[in-house]
A and B are shown apart, each in its own frame.
Chain A
Amino acid sequence: MLCVLLTFMEPRFLTVDNFLNVMRQSSIIGIIALGMTCVILARGIDLSVGSIVALSSIVAAAAVRAGVPFFAAWGIALLVGALCGGINGVIVARLGIPPFIVTLGMMGAARGAALLFTGGAPISGLSGAFRVLGTGSVAGIPVPILVFAGVFVLLYVLLERSVWGEQVRSIGSNPVAAWGSAILVPRITASVFMVSGILSALAGLVLTGRLDAAQPTAGLGYEFGAIAAAVLGGTQFSGGKGTLFGTVLGVLIMGVIGNGINILNVNPFYEQVVRGLVIGVALVFYGRFAARGTARVLQ
C-alpha cells in the first residue's frame, strides 16, 4: 500500500532500478535484523550489533591492507563477530545476566576497541575484490541482496526446519519448561547471540564494501533499526513468536520510507515526523491483520 501511494506521488519510485536500490540499501540492516529476530525469539535482545559491525569491519580492513587475502580477511571479520557474539551469549547463558545489560556492555567495549584500534580514523582505499560483497553484482542483481537472500534461506531452514529452531522458540515462549525438558538452554542461548554476532560482522563487510571505508563510527544506531524492523514485522519481545519473513517486510517498510522521503525531497525537519507516522500507521494495520489472522485460526 505504501508502495502504491509512493508510486502515485512520484512515478520514478516504481522502477526496477529503484526496487533494486531499496533492496540493496536494506540488505545491511536486513542481515542484522534477521539475526536480531532469532535473538528476540529466544527472549533476548542484542544492543551490540552496531558496534560489532564497526569492530569486525575495521579488523578485516586492517588485515586486507596488511596483505592478507580478501577471503581470509572476510573470515577474520566473521570470526571477530562470532567471538563478540559468543562472549555475549556465554555471559547471558552461564551467568544469567540480562541480555540488555550484557549487550550494552559489549556495545561500549566493541565500539571502544574499534576506536582504539584505529585512533578514530577510517581505513579506506580497499581492494576491489574485498569490496565485492558491497559493490559486486551477479546477473544484474547486487551482491548485498544475494547475501541477504542467502542469509534468509539459511536461517529459514535453521529456524523452521531444524531442531535448533524449535529449541530457540521454546526457550523464548517458555524458558522454565525448556529448562525442564531435554533442551540445553545455555548452549542454545549462547548460539543465538553468536549467530547475531556473525551476521553483524557479515553486514559490516557489506557496508565496508559499499563505502570503500571501514569506520570506527560505522553502524551507530543500527540496533534500533534492526530491533524496529523485527518488531514491525511482528516479532514479539516476549519471545517465541515471530517470523523471518515478517522481519524482511519490516526492513523493507523502513527502507521504502527512507527512499520515499529522499525521492520526494521531504524537508529534513519533517523527515522524522513522517517516519514516525508511517511506522505507526503500519503497526496499526499490522495489528488489524494479525488480529484477523488469529481470529481465523480460532474459528
Chain B
Amino acid sequence: MKGRKLVLSLVAVLLLTAFPLAASAAQTLGLVVSTLNNPFFVTLKEGAEQKAQELGVALVVYDAQDDSAKMTSAMEDLIQKKVDAILVNPTDADAVVPSILKANAAKIPVFTIDRGATSGKVVCHIASDNVAGGKMAGEFLAEQIGRSGKVVELVGIPGTSAARDRGKGFHEAMEQYPGIEIVASQAADFNRDKGLTVFENILQAQPEIDGVFAHNDEMVLGAIAAAEAAGKKGIVFVGFDAIDDAVKAVGEGKLAATVAQQPGEMGLLGVEYAVKFLNGEETPDFVPVPLKLVTK
C-alpha cells in the first residue's frame, strides 16, 4: 500500500514537473478564512479577491466561522472540487493538520496565511514580519527622540516567537544609533497590569527616560498609565498590534505610534504566491508581510 502510494506520488511529481503550465489557463484557488466576523479577516479576504481578479484566477471563499469543524468540511469541499491550490487561514494550528494531510494526499498545494499549521506539507506560510515591525518601531522611536537618549524596552513573554522577533528587530534598529542607550529591558508578559508595575519600578531606577518601546500595546498602555500617575511628561511611547485602545491613544496623542498588521496585504500576497507556485516559479517557505506604523 505504502509502496504504491510512493510510486503514485513519484509519477504525480514527474507529471507536474513535466507540464508545469498545464493548468494555468483556468486556475481556481480556494480560500478558507477562520472567520469573517472580524474586520481583520474581511480585509484579508478582500485583498485576496482583489489580487485574484487582477491575475485572472477564480477564487472560492469559505468562512469557517471560527469553528474547526466548519474549516475541515470547507477544506474537504475544496479537495472534492479539485481546486488548484488551497489558501487557508486556520482557526487552529493543530486542528487544520488532518485537512492539510488530505490535501497533500490529493496533491493540492496548501498555503497558510497569518496562522500556521503544526504539521503537514505547506508550500509557504504568509504572515506578518515581526522582525521588520520591531525594527520599524525602533527606528521611529529613535527619530522621535532625536537619535539620542535613554530608552526602555518592555519585553513580551520571554521565549515566545512574537517577543523574540519584535525584540530582535528593535535591537537591530537601536544598533544604528550610538547615541541611544537601552537603560532597561524588562519582561511584562504582554500584560497591561504588568506593564504598569514594571514601568513604575523602572521609573524608580531611571528618572530620565526619553522613549519606551513595548512588544505589544497592552504593555505600552500600562506604561502610559504609570507615567501619567507619576506625572512624567514627554516620554515617547511606541506599541505594537494597533488594538482599538491603542489607536484611540494615538489619536489622543498619548501614544506616538503603534505597529499595525496589514491583513489586506496578507490576502494579496497569498494569492500572488499561490499563482507563482502554480506557474512553476520558486517560492520561499515564508513570505513576510510588511507592517505599517499607525501615527497621528
Q: Which residues of A contact B (CB under 8 A)?
A: 10, 12-13, 15, 17-18, 21, 24-25, 121-122, 124-125, 135, 207, 210-213, 215, 217-220, 258-259, 261-269, 271
Q: How far is the CB of A246 from chain B (nearest CB, A)?
A: 23
If A207-B193, A211-B192 touch, whether A265 touches B245 (CB-CB below 8 Å) is no
A269: which of B158, B196, B198, B245 is its contact (CB, 8 Å)?
Answer: B158
The CA-CA distance from A272 to B150 in the complex, in Å, is 26
Q: Does B139 contact A (CB under 8 A)?
A: no
Q: Which residue of B lies closest to A10 (CB)?
A: B205
Residues A262 and B192 in contact, CB atoms below 8 Å apart:
no
If A211-B225, A258-B197, A268-B155 touch, whether A263 touches B244 (CB-CB below 8 Å) is no
Q: Does B269 contact A (CB under 8 A)?
A: no
If A213-B192, A258-B197 touch, whether A263 touches B204 (CB-CB below 8 Å) is yes
Residues A259 and B245 in contact, CB atoms below 8 Å apart:
no
If A210-B229, A211-B193 touch, whether A265 touches B205 (CB-CB below 8 Å) is yes
Residues A15 and B204 in contact, CB atoms below 8 Å apart:
yes
Q: How far is the CB of B221 from chain A (nearest CB, A)?
A: 7
The CA-CA distance from A122 to B191 in the complex, in Å, is 12
Binds A, one of B120-128, B182-190, B284-292: B182-190
The CA-CA distance from A121 to B197 in the complex, in Å, is 21
Which secondary structure dominates where chain B touches chain A? Answer: helix
If A10-B205, A15-B204, A212-B225 touch, whether A265 touches B184 (CB-CB below 8 Å) is yes
Query: Other CB < 8 Å A-B pairs besides A262-B184, A265-B186, 14 of them?
Result: A12-B204, A13-B204, A21-B200, A21-B204, A24-B200, A122-B245, A211-B192, A211-B193, A211-B225, A263-B201, A263-B205, A266-B186, A267-B185, A269-B159
A121: which of B155, B187, B225, B244 is its contact (CB, 8 Å)?
Answer: B244
B198: which of A15, A18, A262 is its contact (CB, 8 Å)?
Answer: A262
Q: Which residues of B contact A (CB under 8 A)?
A: 155, 158-159, 183-187, 191-193, 196-198, 200-202, 204-205, 221-222, 225, 229, 244-245, 248
Residues A12 and B196 in contact, CB atoms below 8 Å apart:
no
Q: Which residue of A lies closest to B167 (CB)?
A: A268
The CA-CA distance from A267 to B186 in the complex, in Å, is 7
Q: How far is the CB of A247 from chain B (nearest CB, A)?
A: 19
Q: How far is the CB of B104 from chain A (nearest CB, A)?
A: 34
The CA-CA distance from A84 to B244 in the complex, in Å, is 30
The CA-CA distance from A135 to B204 in the complex, in Å, is 17
Q: Which residue of A lies closest to B245 (CB)?
A: A124
Q: How far is the CB of A54 from chain B (nearest CB, A)?
A: 11
Interface contacts (Cβ under 8 Å), in number, total 74
Please list the 6 inter-chain residue pairs (A to B) with the smallest Cβ-Cβ separation, ordered nearest first.
A262-B201, A268-B187, A263-B205, A268-B158, A18-B204, A265-B184
| B-side contacts of A262, CB under 8 Å | 184, 186, 198, 201-202, 205
Q: Which residue of A lies closest to B182 (CB)?
A: A265
Q: How far is the CB of B121 from chain A (nearest CB, A)?
A: 33
The CA-CA distance from A267 to B184 in the complex, in Å, is 9
The CA-CA distance from A215 to B244 in the complex, in Å, is 13
Q: How far is the CB of B296 from chain A (nearest CB, A)?
A: 18
The CA-CA distance from A265 to B209 in the complex, in Å, is 14
If A21-B201, A21-B204, A210-B229 touch, whether A261 touches B222 (CB-CB below 8 Å) is no
| A-side contacts of B202, CB under 8 Å | 262-263
| B-side contacts of A263, CB under 8 Å | 201-202, 204-205
Residues B185 and A259 in contact, CB atoms below 8 Å apart:
no
Q: How far is the CB of B125 from chain A (nearest CB, A)?
A: 26
If A17-B204, A122-B245 touch, whether A268 touches B185 (CB-CB below 8 Å) is yes
The CA-CA distance from A177 to B258 in the complex, in Å, is 61
